[in-house]
Amino acid sequence: MASVEAGELSGPEPVRCTRGGRRLRRRAATTAATTAATTAASVAAAALCLLVPACSDGDPPGAAGPSATDVGSPAPRSAPETPAPNPTPTPTPTQAEPDVADPVRVTIPAVDIDANVLPIAVDAGNVLVPPPYGDAGWWEAGPEPGEAGASVIAGHLDNADGPDVFYRLAEVEEGDEIVVTRADGGAGVFRVVDVGQYSQDAFPTESVYDASDDQPLLRLITCGGEYDRQLGRYRDNVVVFAERA
């Protein structure tokens, strides 16, 4: 399957070719109904949550010029007032495990993604510290994959030398299997239910974090869209939504 070059997207509604000729369209982020001024303020403050270390740290292959790091703060784990409707839950919920070991590896056989997973956290300024190139990063303040709620794993799309761990994430399709290996040797298997591409200026915080959900969910995030040389980052995020298989 052919790889997609970074920066391929252009125009007001960019598209990205994926497996089987499917195109991944930029989606407008779902906006939850505002029930109070304080709720609106907290959601707005988190709109660029964990927008993915890969999206701003370094130029794409062959790019010249300075780079910049612009990583937002993770979203709060409190339940949103009005959960976003996407992704659609499976008809039969899968029970979460009460206590799960940390993730150490994530694989997606359908697109040959196989990456080590390291814990990532926020710094003194409440900004998420990116994982190193060549590794994915699990936001350790959130649930482990398999526990109740949405576990978030972020990875770089590319770096100055070429593709990185989540370079083919946009090729993932509904129904694909994601396997997360744990530190204790166990593994959790998830099934993709949706894939979306969102502007970083309208990141779907509530849909991604789903803190109120009592089912085990998984979110994989990387960059997408055009690379903005002036800002030193990509304009979009690609988000894969998955549920326990």
For 103-130, write each residue's pLDDT tens digit: 999 999 999 999 999 999 878 876 667 8
Residue whose tokens read 């502007």: 199
- pLDDT tens for residues 119-163? 998 788 766 678 999 999 999 999 999 999 999 999 999 999 999
Helix (H) or strand (E) holding 12, with range, is none
Task: Taking residues 4-26, report their average pLDDT.
Answer: 43
Predicted confidence (pLDDT) at residue 34 exceeds the cutoff of 70: no
- All structural domains of the chain, each given as residue ranges with its CATH number in brackets, are 15-75+101-244 (2.40.260.10)
pLDDT reported for residue 56: 52
Q: Predicted confidence band at 9 (pLDDT cuts at 50, 70, 90)?
A: very low
CA-closest candidate to residue 172, choices 131, 220, 243: 220
CA-closest candidate to residue 237, choices 228, 226, 224: 224
- pLDDT tens for residues 53-84? 445 555 444 433 322 233 334 544 443 333 33
Sign of CA dihedral 120, 121, 123, 129: positive
Predicted confidence (pLDDT) at residue 244 exceeds the cutoff of 50: yes
Report field, pTM of the whole predicted structure over 0.95: no
